[in-house]
Amino acid sequence: MSNKKKLLIAGIVLLFVAIPFLVFFLQKESTPENNTSTIIIDNQSQYSRGLDTSVFTSIANSTYTTVSLNIKDIEPSYHGTIRANSFNTVDNTVSFILDIPSIKLSFMTYQGIDNDNKPLSDALIECPAEDKIIYDTNEACVDLSTYDKGSVEVDFPLGLDLPLTGPNFSIDYTQENSKYTVFITYYTEAGKQEALDALISLGYNPAEYTITYQAG
């Protein structure tokens, strides 16, 4: 047998060996659940309406964080659906109820968006109102606001009203030991004052807090 034929046969054998590994690798890379801790919103395409996909990604990731407060042995991902007739987009905020049937939990989700229909900051996730509960397990629901409510309510009442978003700003806070810092992210120069005005409208005096500003 000539060297040419030997090389051709060797190439064909190598190709047949390599193809299964290549297919496995591509399938693994294309599977959304791989290495992702999040909520997969199965029907989000029905509600996109020009919104950037990052809006739903932000909501899904924040919801997963809240699920971790309610489930002891949390799984890498869960499938959820946007409840019918709950989707709204008002004043640069997307909101809807996200139902997760496999763990019998629902959450009210809020996401501030900018003029490009992209998320302004992390989504706000809350337990549903009593009249929106469809699962018995939701009666003992815990969200981020109630999880830290005990210490925040006494030491930092403003924290109960944060995060707060507007068209040109978002407000949140961090805690290090007993020190609280308010972070104002502004998307226009006017956003700085709008954020301060929002705090004042809620009855808080900005001068009484440590505030850090950052351009968004």
Residue 163: asked if its preceding bond is cis (omega within 30°), the reply is: yes
Indicate the Cα dihedral angle 42, 83, 97, 78, nearest 10°. Answer: -30
For residues 137 and 153, membership in a common domain is answered with no
Q: State which of 125, 143, 161 marks the end of a domain.
A: 143
Regarding whether 54 and 6 lie in a shared domain, the answer is no
Last residue of a domain, one of 143, 166, 191: 143
The two three-digit tokens of residue 48, written as one number: 């996109």
- Per residue of the chain (216 residues), give pLDDT as tens: 555 555 555 556 555 555 555 544 444 434 344 446 899 999 999 998 889 999 999 999 999 988 988 887 889 999 999 999 999 998 889 999 999 999 999 999 999 999 899 998 888 898 888 889 999 877 778 776 555 544 455 567 888 888 888 999 999 988 776 678 899 999 999 999 999 999 999 999 999 999 999 887
Claim to verify: residue 10 and residue 78 sit in the same structural domain: no
Domain that holds residue 131: 38-143
- Condensed to tens digits (0 to 9), the pLDDT of residues 46-92 reads 998 889 999 999 999 999 988 988 887 889 999 999 999 999 998 88
Q: Both 48 and 131 in a single domain? A: yes
Query: Looking at 143, 160, 180, which one is the last position of a domain?
Result: 143
